[in-house]
Amino acid sequence: MSNSFWRDRRVLVTGCSGFLGSWLTARLIDSEADVVGLVRDKVPHSQLMRSGLLDRLHLVEGDVIDYALLERILVEYEINTIFHLAAQTIVTIANRAPLSTFETNIKGTWVVLEAARRSPTVKGIIIASSDKAYGNQAQLPNREDSPLLGRHPYDVSKSCADLIAQTYGTTYAMPVVVTRFANLYGGGDLNWNRIVPGTMRSILRGERPIIRSDGTFRRDYLFVEDAVGGYLELAQQLEHSDIRGQAFNFGMDQPTTALEMVRTILSLSDCPSLEPVILDQAQNEILDQFLDSEKAHRLLGWYPRHSLREGLQKTLNWYRQFLARK
């Protein structure tokens, strides 16, 4: 990544205090970007808060569905690049309360895009979709030309946001690209009902890890630092390549079952003999879902730098330190 590209560039990161947003914001600041971060709720233990970087960015408190606020941010800070990450990201919450998920994930996306359409300084907009936007496919792996078939609340919210982003790229010739990432993991994810942080917290407490499904669900997992690399590379390429309106998959392309994931984490821990508790209670979730990232390899030159075990080891070290300090 070229630091000269980001030096003094005015960048907006929505959801900057979230799991991915924290890591992306830190990398942008390290690259000397002039970062504006939009947050709705303060998260005291977020990676961004713990990093000590808050005094090195412009922090704006507000909701991503507030059009007047987004327009003001883009105009007053003369934003050049937008990373739209703000979203409700938990599948179980989406199932219980779909309206708030639809409001944030769908309306929030068109608000950002419409405000950007009216801002002459914006040169690049990267919209975070998800591999969940593909829904349940008969043929895997998912490629960028696979149909978007979300059916459950979270999946539908991502399918809709994805299509809206493509609409703005196609109809208005805006510099928009869409990211569809595999399941992200890494230090700083405090959503304990996700498999990686939940498993690691249990293991570090000497407790048996819990698997909500029957253990056979297959997913592709990507280390958060490799995801950040993908975002930054895509943003740079957007200003030099004809990729506007396109979507890109980012993953390891190595599907792993939930049980395999937990056993891999156990093998890296001090308690390898712990047996997971399999609840078999997952509902309204896709059985198998994984990606083909060949397009990102070919057009962006992007490849993950961490193997699954390397990423999980770094993640386990992060949680060990985090939980020891709480």
Distance between CA atoms of residues 187 and 195, nearest Å: 13
Give me the sheet containing 288-289, strands edge to edge: 256-257, 218-219, 288-289
Residue linked to tokens 């990544």: 1
Checking DSSP bridges between strand 288-289 and strand 221-223, what pairing results, if any? unpaired
Buried b (16+ CB within 10 A) or exposed e, 313-323: eebbebbbebe
H helices, E strands: number in the chain: 13, 14
Task: Say how many C-beta atoms besides its own lie within 10 A of residue 147's C-beta.
Answer: 10
In the set 77, 134, 154, 172, the catalytic residue is 154
Catalogue the E-assigned strands of the chain.
10-14, 34-39, 58-61, 81-84, 124-128, 176-181, 183-185, 210-211, 218-219, 221-223, 247-250, 256-257, 277-278, 288-289
Task: Say how many C-beta atoms besides its own lie within 10 A of residue 66's C-beta.
Answer: 16
Phi, psi (5° rounding) for residue 51? Answer: -75, -15
Checking DSSP bridges between strand 218-219 and strand 256-257, what pairing results, if any? antiparallel
What would the DSSP string read from start to end of 68-108? HHHHHHHHHTT-SEEEE------HHHHHH-HHHHHIIIIIH
The answer to whether the beta carbons of residues 39 and 60 sit under 8 Å apart is yes
154 catalytic residue (yes or no): yes
Which of 13, 10, 53 has the alpha carbon at shortest distance from 231?
A: 13
Q: How is residue 252 written in tokens?
A: 């390891």
Catalytic positions: 154
